[in-house]
Chain A
Amino acid sequence: QQQVKQSPQSLIVQKGGISIINCAYENTAFDYFPWYQQFPGKGPALLIAIRPDVSEKKEGRFTISFNKSAKQFSLHIMDSQPGDSATYFCAASKETSGSRLTFGEGTQLTVNP
């Protein structure tokens, strides 16, 4: 019940296109859903996060869509750039449990110039 499932495993997008990564969770107690970006040899960096009281959050070119009834959330990267090429992880946690994050398996995004 603690799993977070992420898809696709890898994604290739042309420059200027939209990248979409999806995640589904099982534990209805999760109340915090962040996305992390990781470059090779680096630690994960927080990109954007959402809580279940809203259905969408936008920060610049990055948007999270959240569907509480379906227990799904997704990351949309608009106008994708080669510099966005990285591995993206969705995660979920119950903030009241000490912010222990359960991560998806990751999506390797390649944006071709």
Chain B
Amino acid sequence: NAGVMQNPRHLVRRRGQEARLRCSPMKGHSHVYWYRQLPEEGLKFMVYLQKENIIDESGMPKERFSAEFPKEGPSILRIQQVVRGDSAAYFCASSPWGPGLSGNTIYFGEGSWLTVV
């Protein structure tokens, strides 16, 4: 019973390059969330997606960041033209169902650590 799978676990990019982070939710989960954790800080919500839909992207920076969750395949968080301030751990999480239902536990993956040099 695999958990939330993220890859790559570690990624090094030079300033100006693109970073692509992938997330496969737990089996049976169709709701995906991305969070960012800066060093020595808590997790900050970025975006909430369902299959083929972005539900809430209020935590996403307006420029350079995008996310998708296609009908087939993993969810992708894409960061274009990375800068040093993008260095962080990016966590994907998934849940079995959406709003309004009790017991909607969110499970986190192991994270993808992005380092921009």
Contacts and interface: CB of A to CB of B under 8 A. Distances in A.
B51 to A, nearest CB: 14
Given A42-B110, A46-B107, A98 B55 contact: yes
Interface of A: 6, 34, 36, 41-46, 49, 51, 89, 95-106
Interface residues of B, number: 28
A100 B45 contact: yes
Nearest to B92: A43
Contact of B42 (A49, A96, A103): A103
A4 to B, nearest CB: 8
Nearest to B100: A96
A99 B99 contact: yes
A95 B109 contact: no
Interface string B20-46: 000000000001010100000111110
Nearest to B3: A43
A42 to B, nearest CB: 6
Contacts of B104: 95, 99
B105 A49 contact: yes
Interface string B71-100: 000000000000000000001000100111
